[in-house]
Structure 1
Amino acid sequence: MDQEFSRRLSMSEVKDDNTAKTLSAAARRSFFRRKHKHKRSGSKDGKDLLALDTFSNDSIPLFEDSVSLAYQRVQKVDCTSLRPVLLLGPLLDVVKEMLVNEAPGKFCRCPLEVMKASQQAIERGVKDCLFVDYKRRSGHFDVTTVASIKEITEKNRHCLLDIAPHAIERLHHMHIYPIVIFIRYKSAKHIKEQRDPVYLRDKVTQRHSKEQFETAQKIDQEYSRYFTGVVQGGALSSICTQILAMVSQEQSKVLWIPACPP
């Protein structure tokens, strides 16, 4: 019996020793991983990350992919003029009308130029950075031009854009960086329930509210990376108050964009 006990004790000691070695090796690996990460933080990329942390309250809305900020070089943009504003979501026409009427010295809707031209000519204007976006109408095109946007910003007003979300990247290539605000409603029913004695007297139909809600969901899924901020849908007055505050806040922030490769 003593021999059996001694044999079991010996096996237990070997097992404990192996476990200790395993834990020790794991601890060393963990230490070297931490040490490696600490070393990287002193690199140039690490300094860039620290710089980003320093400006954590500044605006960084313009990343067009899912690359981690730790590996994305950025550069500061000085916005000497007021940035255009792009609103996305339901009830946009009503919200824009209210903003322009209630704050005429701050907002102005971007006029659409009516152009009778071929599809090829319009696309050439887009390629040459003369046009931002366009909509085909019966016998003509409604075009958003770069000149129209600049004309409004030169008057010290925020230009309320009327473009599709896919044109945001086009604006970035033109060195125009809009404040993109998404209006998020909880449901189609929530949209349908909205009323306003001045700006929304007619009821929103169930079909229209459903279509707007579904379209907004698609925009949220596909273009949320471009959003500067989100406001909660509800009463029009509440939406406009949120937009006014967000635009003022974003305009005052330092704007960072991805740096061009050397």
Structure 2
Amino acid sequence: PDPRFITFQKEGSVGIRLTGGNEVGIFVTAVQPGSPASLQGLQPGDKILKVNDMDMKCVTREEAVLFLLSLQDQIDLIVQHRKDEYEQIVASQRGDSFHIKAHFNYDQPNKGEMSFRKGDVFHVVDTLHNGVVGSWQVFRIGRNNQEVQKGIIPNKSRAEELATAQFNATKKEMSTSESRGSFFRRRRGSHRRSKSLGRDHWDDVVFSDSISKFPAYERVVLRHPGFVRPVVLFGPVSDIARERLLKDYTDKFTSPQLDNNLEDIPKSQKSSGIIRLSAIREIMDRGKHALLDITPNAVDRLNYAQFYPIVIFLRAESKHIIKELRAGLPKAAHKSSKKLFEQCQKLEKVWSHTFSCSVTLTSPDTWYRKVRELIEKQQSSPLWMSES
């Protein structure tokens, strides 16, 4: 049947119940008898194509409901009766379908909801759980990108509130710890150079230790990146690993921090760990991995800029193994095993959401081989990237 134009005055509630979602379209599933909509001939099985000039294509069920609720007075609908399609949707219970990555921790969930950590990915299948605004029904995505667990999480607006509160608390915590001197090295002079973070200024972004503001839920898709991803190593022997990779595989790895063209830059700037995104991009364009020595915070920033570094955490089970693996290094590279071990534990506790994978440190040869294998495996695997 042809699309129909239906217009009516809203009296209190709209008097329509909706089903469907961004994957299948928005359908009317019930109309209140005697309501203005019903009197104008709106009926179950009508697909809503437009509401007051807003196209309903790819709109989630929650967005459609909130939009209808927000309208005052007159409502103009363009609808088309699609009985078969509607019945299929009701039978299969299909509606919404998209993937999100969480950018905050949800540790104390409301009753009936599941907890999650920063970096967790979900397949959202209903944005209006139980027909009420407030919760989303999802599948958690596990290690092999399979759906592993069905559950309920806060909807986007609740998530934004929770994430903002967490963000502000973290910021406050960071400013207090800053005054006590920080746990991470490379703080020198990083604050003088902060610039505005407009999308166009990404090239001049200097990695100072501030936090980038992701949305609470970022829409993501699983795909191959199509570029050579930068590599970041964390852990008590990451300096050794970087040095070996740069020496053993000059054709595959290079470091913007050690590039030969830095000779004319004053020493003070070299050691401050400033890396321009353009330098990383240039290495990527040459088809090499940019091997970076940066803080975990900078990893968040790289992900925000959609460079998606491969982050490998080298985990030590004890300070003895660290001592063993660092034995025989030149005096200049000497570091306290105890300190390195403590840093290692703290790093894992706070920043594990940035890790792509981890390697437990054992005998000298096996861990290094494992690191190389993981870099290759990560480079050839698809990853959850921002939809935009």
Q: TM-score, normalised by structure 1?
A: 0.60
SS at match of 1:74: strand
Structural mapping, 1:123-142, within 5 Å? 137=268, 141-142=272-273
Question: Quick check: 1:44 aligned with 2:96?
Answer: yes
- CA-CA distance at 1:98 after TM superposition: 1.0
CA contact (8 A) 2:237 2:326 kept: no
- The 1:242–1:41 alpha-carbon spacing in structure 2 relative to 1, beyond 3 Å, is farther
Percent of aligned positions that are identical: 28
SS at match of 1:189: helix
- CA-CA distance at 1:258 after TM superposition: 4.9
> Which string of whole-angstrom CA distances, capped at 9 and with x for unpartnered residues, describes residues 178-226 of structure 1?
00100001011111122577xx466987x71011111111110000011
SS at match of 1:193: helix
**Residue in structure 2 matched with residue 87 of structure 1 by the alignment:** 233
CA contact (8 A) 1:109 1:161 kept: yes
**Residue in structure 2 matched with residue 209 of structure 1 by the alignment:** 337
Structural mapping, 1:1-262, within 5 Å? 42-45=94-97, 48=123, 57=144, 73-111=219-257, 137=268, 141-194=272-325, 200=329, 208-259=336-387
- CA-CA distance at 1:103 after TM superposition: 1.9
> Which string of whole-angstrom CA distances, capped at 9 and with x for unpartnered residues, describes residues 36-84 of structure 1?
xxx997342489469x89996359xxxxxx989xx87422454222000
- Residues of 1 paired with 2:140 and 2:94: CA distance? 14
- Residues of 2 paired with 1:212 and 1:202: CA distance? 16
Higher mean alpha-carbon deviation, 102-111 vs 153-162, is at 102-111
- CA-CA distance at 1:105 after TM superposition: 1.6
- CA-CA distance at 1:115 after TM superposition: 6.6
- The 1:209–1:40 alpha-carbon spacing in structure 2 relative to 1, beyond 3 Å, is farther
> Which string of whole-angstrom CA distances, capped at 9 and with x for unpartnered residues, describes residues 92-137 of structure 1?
2111111122222221123266877xxxxxxxxxxxxxxxxxxx95
- CA-CA distance at 1:235 after TM superposition: 3.2
Structure with greater helix share of residues: 1
Q: Give the gaps of 5 or more residues in structure 1.
A: 1-38, 60-65, 117-135
Q: Give the gaps of 5 or more residues in structure 2.
A: 1-90, 100-122, 126-138, 147-152, 156-216
- Residues of 1 paired with 2:310 and 2:255: CA distance? 14
- Residues of 2 paired with 1:162 and 1:98: CA distance? 14
The two structures, once aligned, show a CA RMSD in angstroms of: 4.0
Letter in 2 for 1:213: F
**Residue in structure 1 matched with residue 50 of structure 2 by the alignment:** none
- Residues of 1 paired with 2:318 and 2:289: CA distance? 29
SS at match of 1:82: coil
Compare relative contact order (CA 8 Å, sep 6+) and give the higher one, 1 or 2. Answer: 1
- The 1:140–1:221 alpha-carbon spacing in structure 2 relative to 1, beyond 3 Å, is closer
- CA-CA distance at 1:229 after TM superposition: 0.1
SS at match of 2:337: helix
- Residues of 2 paired with 1:194 and 1:251: CA distance? 27
User: Rg bigger for which structure?
Assistant: 1
- Residues of 2 paired with 1:218 and 1:98: CA distance? 25
SS at match of 1:110: coil
CA contact (8 A) 1:110 1:162 kept: no
- Residues of 2 paired with 1:140 and 1:92: CA distance? 17
- CA-CA distance at 1:142 after TM superposition: 3.8
CA contact (8 A) 1:115 1:142 kept: no
Equivalent residue pairs, number: 193
- The 1:248–1:140 alpha-carbon spacing in structure 2 relative to 1, beyond 3 Å, is closer
- Residues of 2 paired with 1:173 and 1:243: CA distance? 24
